[in-house]
Amino acid sequence: MATALERSTTVTVTSGRPAWMEPPGPPEQVAKTLFLVAIAVVMLFPFVYVVAISFSSAKDVLAGGLILWPKNPSLDAYQAILRGGIVARALLVSTGLAVFGTAAKMVATVALAYGLSKRAVPGAKLVLFLVLGTLLFRPGLIPSYLLVKNLGLIDTYQSLILPGLISAFYLVILRNFFMNIPQELIEAARLDGGSDWQVLWHIVLPLSKAVLAVIALFYGVDIWNAFFNAVLYLNDASMWPVQLVLRQYVLQGSAMASAITLDPNQPPPPAQTLQMAIVVVATLPILVVYPFLQRYFTRGVLSGAIKA
Amino acid sequence: MAMRHSRRALLRTTLGLTGITSLLAACAPATPASPTSAPVAPKPTSAPPPAPTTLPTPAPPAATAPATAPPGGSLGTPTALAEGKLPSPAVGVPDGFTMMPKLLKSYDGKPGRGGKVTVFTIAYQPPPVPRDQNQMWQELEKRLGVTWEPIITPQPEYGNKSAALIAGGNLPDLFYLNPGQNAAPQYKAMDQGAFTDLTAYLTGEALKAYKNLSTFPDYMWNNVKFKNKIIGVPKPLQRNGNIAFYRGDWVKKLGLDAPKSMDVLHDLLVAFARGDPTGSGQKDTWGLGRYGTDWGGWDSTLIAFNMFGTPFNWRKNPDGTLTHQIETDEFRMGIDFLRRLYADGAFHPDSAGMTFAQCQGAFIGGKIGAHSEGLGNFYSPTIASTVYFKMRQADPNAELVGLYPTQAGGAKGVTRNTQGSFGYTAIPAAVGKDEERVKELLRILDYLAPPFGSEEWFFLGYGIEGVDHQVTNGVPVLNERGISERGDLTYIMAGLPTLFIPQAPDAVAPAQKMAHEILKIGIDDLSWPLYSATDIAKRAELNQFGFDSMTAIITGRQPLSALDDAIKEWKSRGGEQTRKEFEQALAG
Amino acid sequence: MATTTTPDGVQALQVSATATARSAPSLAQRMARERWMYLFIIPGAAYFVIFEYLPLLGNVIAFQDFSPFLGFRDSPFIGLENFRRLFSDADFKLALVNTLQIEVLQLIFAFPAPLVLALVLNSIVSAPVKRSMQSIAYLPHFLSWVIVIALWQQVFGGAGFVNQLLRSQGLDTINIMANPDLAKPLFVLQSIWKEIGWGTIIFLAALTRIEVELYEAAVVDGAGGWRRLWHVTLPGIRSVIVLLLILRLGHMLSVGFEQYFLQRGALGPQAAEVLDTFVYFRGIQGGDWGFAAAVGLVRGVVGTALIVTANSVAKRFGEEGIY
């Protein structure tokens, strides 16, 4: 096993031009720079706007117009959201779901993708069709609910992980990447006496870091953003994930003055600031985690292995 | 009634993922979105917050249980003191109170017999603090004598959860129904017998066992009957409809008069757009905006159809037949009025796609000069978190003037009443087999509808002193913890609406008068108590069709004559069939 | 090798039969040999059977007048009635046509966009710049459509930034967000803006697999930037591109819901009604679950046909395809 891997040297490409690339001419430089600056502006601007509004006070929002920097910054929106510990608890719930859920989904998906990536296995194609079928035909809301109910999973966290445990879409992608690993490496490992498990662990997984990082990211973000299953399968509101809780603040903020409200000297913050603060609170954890995964799919990991 | 959309329904029931709008939109549900329109159906706007002003110190609750009261029953205690009470001048107009009353006990004993009560309820608030840390919840359970388990369901998913629960079989003990949000599936379920017929329990002598519910006016019960049966206990809502409000300061600045005719009203709204009423030198104001996507969507400001006297959905003709609003001359005049306003630039340019939040924001921010929503928003600029208050914050010169339909529209002017309720709570058929259980549940609902000024009313509103509210200058103020503990725990039921404005006691009398004036010319949708299978099946589609047709004409994409085609199509899409069925129901 | 005196054909057959008997293992033998792989496959397969196929049976409601209270057993069976209603509905045709038009535009513009951006990003030499650009580009993905539309309104709406500018200069305002004629390009542009950054992720991952030696060899052969792109880079990620394209075709009839639902009022159903909004108004709001399920089945059938076709075409070009 080790010998096969030794034969593939992993090179991490760091900053700096690779030896084979020629330096770009001025027109190319300029074009690329302009293009990138344009993209940066167009993509960053809405986020700057979102953050700016989230820190705005009622006065700024009422004045209207495009706010890129609040004149009267205020933490009202954030305070409104974070008080009472409800959001804090929901963040905890969502984090737990994201961590354990992603782990579970990755294990399940990798296993099946690997199993289906070996052509020699009789019946693999059949299972593949089974999986592909779910891409095209999806079960309805009520049958799904009835299944979860009959399995006794109502009001459990499992109900937020098990339905959708393996995404056919991600599975197909993962399988494709597995199948594109140079066969010579795998053959060599087998010749060395490696079992299927050892091939997976020592060859396939190390060479698939990029796509594994990507799928883990996708699963993680999906879990983090999910709320619909929670409404359906959870009757106990103390188990709500963060997106569901946060949405209610916007609902509350844009609803008309309810029967009894707070101290009138402290009117609730305007709905827009709440909405934007929610976007920030909900997205921040992803933005924090993301760079750690990003390095796996922006660096080359495979080099010089074929000429064995 | 505005229709609410349950977005995520699509995800699950249509076989297809949310759509790969990019290569990789990870085929999971798209990132969550907030609801696109805030509740348009009016929420209780009466009983606004008490606030620190100098009011007489409320005496501690005095027990006045008459010895002969049945155990665990409401006492029918007359509300509050005579002092400071402005009794209602007519049925449907709320009582007014200028002072915090002396709290009297209105319920003797506990309504529950022990055990658990599960409640399916809609939610507009964040979830309440979990029970083990929630003192108000625990106290509530003590008072009710049961373990109270609400199934808190966010408003956008209300329809889906409702369907799932019904399909799942064992329903909760109390089921909040709101056909305004989710008509067809709920009516179907009612028709198929999913819920107990409560008529016997809630009429005649039987009703008297529930003293609070007995005070509900007849219209509340009648407007929510299904095939002449009482399926649920209505949640009280103020009866009168709304009127338009416009910027009086702008009118003054432009040197104009209050609109006495529709032409003057037209010119006024156009002047808001063209005349630079804010003096900013920029073209940044318009006459009005709009929100909602049903028949009234383009006239959310209430300056058109009410003025012309357009019927509230249906008009009964002397020969017993029904005419739908789309077929009437008044409707045509209303659309024409709106169309000319749009063509003359009075509408905010983003009107076609405006959400409620955007429209409200535009009004508060001084971008549009006319608007309408819950009446409580306009009583006085000193009431915090109302539209008027926020507007004054933005512009200290802002003045709002109400526009009664009779002012501009003359004798034909009408207002549209509410049903007097916002949803009703039903008891599933399986639960309803046990008569004692039904009575217990009704007693609980009775408890949750306490009269104003009672000790129970105070608890349900303010929770526990020192924990949920503080008493400042003799007036209770709900604090952060209080809001978090209260949440939507008992959303399903409330007491009768009243007018109590502690921050502005002087505003009570005018508010009551306004409610009375509005109610005097109020009309009902006479199809409320009638049943039509086609109406249930087609209502959503026809509402949408109505809105789409109006949009095309008002924005000028199609001429006014397109209305004739719209009428024909409305008929063929189910309108004619609906009419026949309603006529039959009306005839008996 | 055994020979017989029978005619050639049969002889050859016998020969080859014997040969196969000796060299090729039987099905049972192959299964036994691969038995460990089944350990990987069976749990996953079980998941799909239980959590996906069992509830899929619920699509029987497409043939019923289904109501949740009566359930599957007691809801009346109406055969193909839902389908008949669907195909004779004028709005269905409108929604279908709109959906297809939008999807075609998406395929031409929105599908390649992340690829192009990924290639550009990949050619950035400085790793910190590359990473931060990629992170910036993905930000809009996390904004919900409600906020995205609100933002676009702020900039392009009738009272938006652009129009304010025009007005202050005394020019005519332009109608972008409420103009039915611009609807489809508008939708595609919004999609690109929202998803281009997120879409680069998978391509960047695929690009990392291309061996450096291939580039070095190409340079040695005298290939410049564009030729390297054509002969090394694109072939290197071709299988991923084809895979994603096929998957996308399977969803040709789903272009999304929220984006269209939010703008339908402003643009009118002629321009903005898509299959998802159509089903919403017809099926969901009316509590017509059977109808909604019928639409889903139609979608599935069409998607299947498209995937099968696309896959065979891909195979003919020497690609792997999905299966």
Q: What is the pLDDT of residue B229?
A: 94
Ranges A200-209, B478-487, C270-279: which has the least confidence: B478-487
Task: Give yes or no for B527 touching A (CB within 8 A).
Answer: no
What is the band of C125 on the pLDDT scale with cuts at 50, 70, 90? confident
Which chains does A contact via 3+ CB–CB distances below 8 A? B, C
Task: Give yes or no for B23 touching A (CB within 8 A).
Answer: no
Backbone angles phi, psi at C44, to 5 degrees: -60, -45
pTM given for the model: 0.86
Q: What is the pLDDT of residue B4?
A: 37
Of A139, A214, A302, the CB nearest to C55: A139
Task: Give yes or no for C69 touching B (CB within 8 A).
Answer: yes
What is the band of B358 on the pLDDT scale with cuts at 50, 70, 90? confident
Instruction: Quote the CA–CA distance of A282 and A275 in Å, as a whole number.
Output: 11
Residue B474 has pLDDT above 90, yes or no: no
3-state secondary structure chain C: CCCCCCCHHHHHHHHHHHHHHHHCCCHHHHHHHCHHHHHHHHHHHHHHHHHHHHHHHHHHHHHECCCCCCHHHHCCECCCHHHHHHHCCHHHHHHHHHHHHHHHHHHHHHCHHHHHHHHHHHCCCCHHHHHHHHHHHHHHHHCCHHHHHHHHHHHHCCCCHHHHHHHHCCCCCCCCCCCHHHHHHHHHHHHHHHHHHHHHHHHHHHHCCCCHHHHHHHHHCCCCHHHHHHHHHHHHHHHHHHHHHHHHHHCCCCCCCHHHHHHHHHHCHHHHCCHHHHHHHHHHCCCCHHHHHHHHHHHHHHHHHHHHHHHHHHHHCCCCCCC
Distance from CA of B453 to the nearest CA of C (A): 41
Mutation site for B-interface testing, chosen from A240, A256, A278 by largest number of B Cβ within 10 Å: A256
Residue B563 has pLDDT above 90, yes or no: yes
What is the band of A254 on the pLDDT scale with cuts at 50, 70, 90? low
Report the pLDDT averaged over residues B229-251: 95
Distance from CA of C11 to the nearest CA of A (A): 30
B-contacting residues of C 76-115, CB under 8 Å? 106, 110-111, 113-115
Q: What is the pLDDT of residue B394?
A: 84
Distance from CA of A260 to the nearest CA of B (A): 5
Across the interface, whether the CB atoms of B350 and C177 are under 8 A apart is answered yes
Most confident region among A251-265, B47-61, B85-99, C100-114 by mean pLDDT: C100-114
Q: What is the pLDDT of residue B19?
A: 24
Across the interface, whether the CB atoms of B353 and C201 are under 8 A apart is answered no
What is the band of B281 on the pLDDT scale with cuts at 50, 70, 90? confident
Q: What is the pLDDT of residue A253?
A: 66
Q: What is the pLDDT of residue B60?
A: 32
Of A240, A251, A263, the CB nearest to B35: A251
Q: What is the pLDDT of residue A258?
A: 38
Is B12 among the domain residues? no
Whether residue B235 sits in one domain with residue B266: no
Residue A191 has pLDDT above 60, yes or no: yes
Residue B38 has pLDDT above 70, yes or no: no
Q: How many Cβ atoms from other residues are within 10 Å of residue B340's Cβ?
A: 14
Nearest CA in chain C to A111: C40
H/E stretch holding A30: helix A26-54
Task: Give yes or no for C282 touching B (CB within 8 A).
Answer: yes
Residue A196 has pLDDT above 80, yes or no: yes
Task: Give yes or no for B130 touching A (CB within 8 A).
Answer: yes
Residue B555 has pLDDT above 50, yes or no: yes
Whether residue B428 sits in one domain with residue B398: no
Ranges A52-56, B24-28, C60-64: which has the least confidence: B24-28
Structural domains in chain B (count):
2
Whether residue B160 sits in one domain with residue B303: no
Residue A193 has pLDDT above 90, yes or no: no
Could you report the per-residue pLDDT of B168-223, keeping only the tens digit for each?
988 999 999 998 887 788 998 999 999 999 999 999 999 999 999 999 999 999 99
Mutation site for C-interface testing, chosen from A121, A159, A233 by largest number of C Cβ within 10 Å: A121
Whether residue B583 sits in one domain with residue B550: yes
Whether residue B488 sits in one domain with residue B428: yes
Backbone angles phi, psi at B356, to 5 degrees: -60, -45
Whether residue B405 sits in one domain with residue B352: yes
Angle of helix C127-138 relative to helix C183-207, nearest 10 degrees, comes to: 140
Strands (E), B265-420: 286-288, 314-316, 322-324, 368-371, 400-403, 415-416
Instruction: Quote the CA–CA distance of C288 and C280 in Å, as a whole number.
Output: 10
What is the band of B329 on the pLDDT scale with cuts at 50, 70, 90? very high
Q: Which domain holds residue B330?
A: 244-416+530-587
Of C36, C137, C247, the CB nearest to A169: C247
Distance from CA of C210 to the nearest CA of B (A): 21
Q: Which residues of A touch B357 (CB under 8 A)?
A: 254, 271-272
Task: Give yes or no for C150 touching B (CB within 8 A).
Answer: yes
What is the band of B55 on the pLDDT scale with cuts at 50, 70, 90? very low
Nearest CA in chain B to C104: B21
Is B62 among the domain residues? no
Q: Which residues of A touch B27 (CB under 8 A)?
A: 135, 167, 169
Q: Which residues of B touch A149 (CB under 8 A)?
A: 168
What is the band of C61 on the pLDDT scale with cuts at 50, 70, 90? very high
Could you report the per-residue pLDDT of A134-184, keeping only the tens digit for each?
999 999 899 999 999 999 999 999 999 999 999 999 999 999 999 988 888
Closest CA to C45 of B380, B262, C37: C37
Whether residue B442 sits in one domain with residue B383: no
Whether residue B301 sits in one domain with residue B225: no
Closest CA to A219 of A167, A149, A154: A167
Instruction: Out of B501, B523, B545, pick the residue that ends a domain.
Output: B523
Is B5 among the domain residues? no
Domains of chain A, by residue range, sit at 2-8+85-297
Whether residue B321 sits in one domain with residue B203: no
Task: Give yes or no for C236 touching B (CB within 8 A).
Answer: no
What is the band of A211 on the pLDDT scale with cuts at 50, 70, 90? very high
Of B126, B155, B357, the CB nearest to A271: B357
A-contacting residues of B 157-196, CB under 8 Å? 157, 160-161, 163-164, 167-168
Token duo for residue A252? 């509350």
Distance from CA of C81 to the nearest CA of A (A): 19
Pairing of strands B85-86, B286-288: unpaired
Residue B30 has pLDDT above 80, yes or no: no
Could you report the per-residue pLDDT of B127-182, keeping only the tens digit for each?
999 999 999 999 999 999 999 999 999 998 999 999 999 999 889 999 999 988 87
Residue C85 has pLDDT above 70, yes or no: yes
Q: What is the pLDDT of residue A15?
A: 52
Q: What is the pLDDT of residue B443?
A: 96
Contact between residue A186 and residue A199 where contact means Cβ atoms under 8 Å apart: yes
Residue B225 has pLDDT above 50, yes or no: yes
Whether residue B195 sits in one domain with residue B124: yes
Q: Which residues of C touch A109 (CB under 8 A)?
A: 44
Could you report the per-residue pLDDT of B56-81, keeping only the tens digit for each?
333 333 333 333 333 456 665 555 45
Q: What is the pLDDT of residue B73?
A: 63
Across the interface, whether the CB atoms of A214 and C201 are under 8 A apart is answered yes
Across the interface, whether the CB atoms of A272 and B167 are under 8 A apart is answered no
H/E stretch holding B234: strand B232-236
What is the band of A65 on the pLDDT scale with cuts at 50, 70, 90? low
Distance from CA of A262 to the nearest CA of B (A): 6
Instruction: Out of B489, B505, B523, pick the residue that ends a domain.
Output: B523
Q: What is the pLDDT of residue B45?
A: 31
Q: What is the CATH number of domain C90-316?
A: 1.10.3720.10
Angle of helix A242-254 relative to helix A209-225, nearest 10 degrees, comes to: 40
Nearest CA in chain C to B294: C265
Of B125, B164, B364, the CB nearest to A145: B164
Q: What is the pLDDT of residue A247?
A: 87
Contact between residue B352 and residue B551 where contact means Cβ atoms under 8 Å apart: yes
Could you report the per-residue pLDDT of A70-123, keeping only the tens digit for each?
888 888 888 888 877 888 899 999 999 999 999 999 999 999 999 999 888 888
Q: Which residues of C touch B23 (CB under 8 A)?
A: 111, 114-115, 195, 199, 202, 244, 248
Distance from CA of B549 to the nearest CA of A (A): 28
Ranges A103-107, B232-236, B363-367, B385-389: which has the least confidence: B385-389
Residue B392 has pLDDT above 50, yes or no: yes
Q: Which residues of A touch C250 (CB under 8 A)?
A: 135-136
Looking at the domain A2-8+85-297, which fold is it? Answer: MetI-like fold (1.10.3720)
Task: Give yes or no for A37 touching C (CB within 8 A).
Answer: no
Q: Can you give the CATH number for the domain in which B412 is found?
A: 3.40.190.10
Whether residue B168 sits in one domain with residue B231: yes
Whether residue B534 sits in one domain with residue B515: no
Q: How many Cβ atoms from other residues are within 10 Å of residue C20's Cβ?
A: 10
Q: What is the pLDDT of residue B44?
A: 32
Nearest CA in chain A to C296: A137
Could you report the per-residue pLDDT of C293-309, keeping only the tens digit for each?
999 999 999 999 999 99
What does pLDDT average to over chain A? 83
More confident residue, B582 or A273: B582
Instruction: Quote the CA–CA distance of A246 and A261 in Å, as a whole number.
Output: 19
Across the interface, whether the CB atoms of A179 and C219 are under 8 A apart is answered no
Of B16, B547, B555, the CB nearest to C296: B16
Alpha-carbon distances, residue C60 vs B8, B162, C294, C296, C297 (angstroms): 21, 21, 9, 11, 10
Could you report the per-residue pLDDT of C182-215, keeping only the tens digit for each?
999 999 999 999 999 999 999 998 998 888 888 8
Q: What is the pLDDT of residue B21?
A: 23
Distance from CA of C12 to the nearest CA of A (A): 28
Distance from CA of C229 to the nearest CA of B (A): 21
Nearest CA in chain B to A64: B365
More confident residue, C319 or C64: C64
Across the interface, whether the CB atoms of C287 and B348 are under 8 A apart is answered no
Ranges A253-257, B119-123, B309-313: which has the least confidence: A253-257
Provide Rg for chain C, Cα atoms: 27
Distance from CA of B311 to the nearest CA of C (A): 24
Q: What is the pLDDT of residue B521?
A: 95
Pairing of strands B469-472, B475-478: antiparallel
Domains of chain C, by residue range, sit at 8-51, 90-316
